[in-house]
Chains A and B, each alone.
Chain A
Amino acid sequence: MRPRESLTSLVLTAPATLALVIFVFLPVAVVFLLAFTNYQIGAPGLGWVGLDNFEQLFGSRLGRNALLNTLTYVAIVIPASVGLGLLVALGLHALARSMPRLSDVLKAVYFLPVAATLVAMAVSWQMLLHPSLGLINTWSSALGLPAPLWLSDRGLVLYTLSAIGIWQSVGYNMVLFLAGLAAIPPALYDAAEVDGATGGWSRFWLVTWPMLGPTTLFVLVVTAASAFRVFETVATLTKGGPAFASDTIVYALYREGFVYFKAGYASAITVVFFLALLLLTALQVWVIERKVHYR
């Protein structure tokens, strides 16, 4: 490139680059530095504490509890949400042939939780799950079933939040799977039919499932990323309680940083979380390139 052109390119990219550096890279760098300090928001000074913050996250009861809760939540939400999303998509895809109207209505119904504001939805959930006034317990009492404390029993709360997390993400996964299904060349199903894969199950294994490979991986990563980030439901419904039973990593981050004002420790959590998501994304890119696109 001639010097004049290079100069023009530089001038053109400069504002965006500058904004990126100032608003993204610089703050990230500051967070990485703060993670090794005991800085408190508003405090006049700070001290270098090395790896203490990370030790606290992985070593303390509260830190490990938040990590474990998050892993439990993720372990429930990912398979359930991806599996249900696939099932619903398969069902609606098939239904679209015989009853397109009904299929469209159901699609909208399943997608509603994705489009709705989660905080507003959380209020509805709270009313539904109220131990004595809520619709769910009113019905279950009427049927003679136990009326559990869905959001304030420490043995139950994480599963309740997981169920809400699933409810919230199934519609999104469904849409992604529907797009994946629509992209499968119909000729492949014809080929399967001619080759003797006539049953629904053999068709699924021979064509649908392998052809959904890239979609499934993408859905898995997207679901994992959002499941690891679970925050809104925790913040609005339980505030991590009762007794930290639903404390998750991002809620802990918020709690430590913005309720306890421990910016250093919160930064350390952010760094760990950031690296974990980075790893997840890298894994996705890697696997997609190697495996799922059948190259």
Chain B
Amino acid sequence: MKTSLLALGLALAAGSAAADTTLRVHYAIPTIWADTQAALAEAFMAAHPDVTIELDGPAEGYAEGVQRLLRESVAGTAPDVAWVGLNLWRVLEARDLAQPLDAFLPEDPEAQGYTGALLSLGRFENTQYALGTSASTLVAYVNPDLVERAGGSMENFPTDYDGIIELAAKIDALDATIEGVWVSPHDWRFQSFLGAHGGRPMTENESDITFDSDAGVAAATVYSRFASEAGMSTMGQNDARQAFPAGTLGIMFESSSLMTRFAEGAGERFDMTVTPMPIVAADEEVYLPTGGSGIVMLTDDAEKQQAAWDYISFVTSPEAQKIIVETTGYAPTNALVVEDASYLGDFYAQNPNARVAHAQVAQYAGPWYAYPGAEGVAVTDVIAADLLGVVEGADPREAVENLAETTRSMLGFN
């Protein structure tokens, strides 16, 4: 606050140096983001005294946030810049609300820390609509106590699915109330297993479903074997997110964004440990769909667009990314901040779990495929329903093939 007052004073002293611009910024999930957003706005305004950042009242979640943006755009009161879920910016793009950013991107994005993998998070049909601002991928959370009770150790923690299933089965056998492994039957988790096996959900031009490949069957088989061999239950996501910190679940595949929450939940009970996703395919074929947030430009006013870009490039810069990582627990979306130890070296030394997750993002980040068209979101629920069928005992190949057919017909691919 002090700095912004100072900035205001400086701006006044400078007289009419530049026309003052006010940017309205939308964000969601205040429980994670409120403090971070205030800190970012303050830092930005200190560097750009001619721009005032005005934060809209935050939306409760990303989905509610997008609903609000759509309503506001209908009413003509949309904000200038919006932080949205990485799986939801396509909704804005499909309605021509997100402005292309290519004209603003620097000549050599790589040099600024915008690697190809990171740019892919906000890219569609060779146009950049969003830039990632925070990232998360699927990781494995492990309860080392249960691993040891089951005769394993963290030093020899398995790095392939066979090993994990074997270990999980042993943990599951410990006690009636203890579960070995759990992962949600959910589109994003499925895409993660798919990517780890080198598969893709859709063709490049999004004209056909491709998850009925061998990689897709293998991804579904992970679910099937977790259930049949390691006794994975069909308990709901909320139940599992309570069970793991309570110490009754051995291994849980979940978003890396939950790291802080799980660490706090586990507390002194056990030393929660994060391990990377087991990768099956060759590195160049692998990608992990990335959750988190991206930022889009909504204003079509040329003058505001420049200020908006200044803000966007600031929040994706190493300085801002350092703030985001330290205050939210998300992985950064600027390569420089990970590579240059001067930014986060101390942080990683204190948070080895974060380093595992962030390294995974830097290495394998890829877009979280959003299915196109009116039924795009509906499809993800159908995928989740059929994955539950696999967990309950359906044949993985058959299920995946049927699911692909259902999906094609819902999306109008045939």
Contacts and interface: CB of A to CB of B under 8 A. Distances in A.
In the complex, A touching B, CB below 8 Å? yes
Interface of A: 38, 40-44, 126-127, 130-133, 141, 147, 149, 151-154, 238, 241-244, 255-256, 258-262
B71 to A, nearest CB: 7
22 contacts: A40-B374, A41-B70, A41-B71, A42-B73, A131-B233, A131-B239, A132-B178, A132-B179, A133-B242, A149-B239, A151-B236, A152-B233, A154-B392, A238-B236, A241-B384, A242-B185, A242-B234, A242-B388, A243-B386, A244-B381, A244-B385, A258-B63
A256 B376 CA distance: 11
A44 B70 CA distance: 11
A133 B71 contact: no
Contacts of A256: 378
Given A44-B96, A131-B233, A243-B384, A152 B63 contact: no
B349 interface: no
Nearest to B179: A132
Nearest 3 A/B pairs, CB to CB: A42-B70, A243-B385, A152-B236
Interface in B362-414: 374-375, 377-378, 381, 384-386, 388-389, 392
Given A133-B246, A141-B176, A261-B91, A154 B388 contact: yes
B74 interface: yes
Given A149-B234, A242-B234, A259-B377, A130 B239 contact: yes
Given A141-B176, A241-B384, A153 B234 contact: yes
Contacts of A149: 233-236, 239
Most buried by B among A132, A151, A241: A132
A118 to B, nearest CB: 16
Contacts of A126: 238-239
A149 B67 CA distance: 33
Given A153-B234, A242-B388, A260 B242 contact: no
Given A132-B179, A243-B384, A260-B377, A42 B236 contact: no
B248 interface: yes
Contacts of A154: 234, 388, 392
A241 B236 contact: yes
Contacts of A238: 236
Contacts of B95: 40, 42-44
Nearest to A127: B242
Contact of B235 (A41, A44, A131): A131
A147 B248 CA distance: 15
A236 B126 CA distance: 39
B205 interface: no
A203 to B, nearest CB: 48
Contacts of A151: 236, 239
A261 B97 CA distance: 15
B16 interface: no
Given A241-B384, A242-B236, A261-B70, 17 more contacts: A41-B67, A127-B242, A130-B239, A132-B179, A132-B235, A132-B248, A133-B243, A141-B177, A149-B235, A152-B236, A238-B236, A243-B386, A256-B378, A258-B63, A259-B63, A260-B378, A262-B378
A152 B71 CA distance: 34
Interface string B232-266: 01111011001100101000000000000000000
A132 B91 CA distance: 38
Interface of B: 63, 67, 69-71, 73-74, 91-92, 95-97, 176-179, 185, 233-236, 238-239, 242-243, 246, 248, 374-375, 377-378, 381, 384-386, 388-389, 392
Contacts of B385: 241-244
B241 to A, nearest CB: 11
B181 to A, nearest CB: 14
A131 B63 CA distance: 28
Contacts of A153: 234
Contacts of A243: 384-386, 388-389
Nearest to B67: A258
A231 to B, nearest CB: 16
Nearest to A130: B239
Contacts of B384: 241, 243
A130 B388 contact: no
Most buried by B among A44, A127, A260: A260
A152 B70 contact: no
A243 B385 CA distance: 4
A94 B63 CA distance: 52
Nearest to B248: A132
Contacts of A133: 177, 242-243, 246, 248
A152 B242 CA distance: 14
Contacts of B377: 259-261
Contacts of A130: 239, 242-243
Contacts of B234: 149, 152-154, 242
A89 to B, nearest CB: 35
Nearest to B373: A40
Contacts of B246: 133
Contacts of B239: 126, 130-131, 149, 151-152
Contacts of B243: 130-133
Contacts of A141: 176-177
Nearest to B64: A258
A86 B13 CA distance: 76
B238 A38 contact: no
A76 B236 CA distance: 24
B167 to A, nearest CB: 19
B235 to A, nearest CB: 5
A256 B377 CA distance: 9
A151 B237 CA distance: 11
Contacts of B70: 41-42, 261
A38 B378 CA distance: 15
Contacts of A259: 63, 377
Most buried by B among A41, A149, A243: A243
A133 B389 CA distance: 25
A256 B235 CA distance: 25
A126 B243 CA distance: 12
A131 B232 CA distance: 13
A125 to B, nearest CB: 11
A33 B69 CA distance: 23
B374 A262 contact: yes
Nearest to A241: B236
Contacts of B248: 132-133
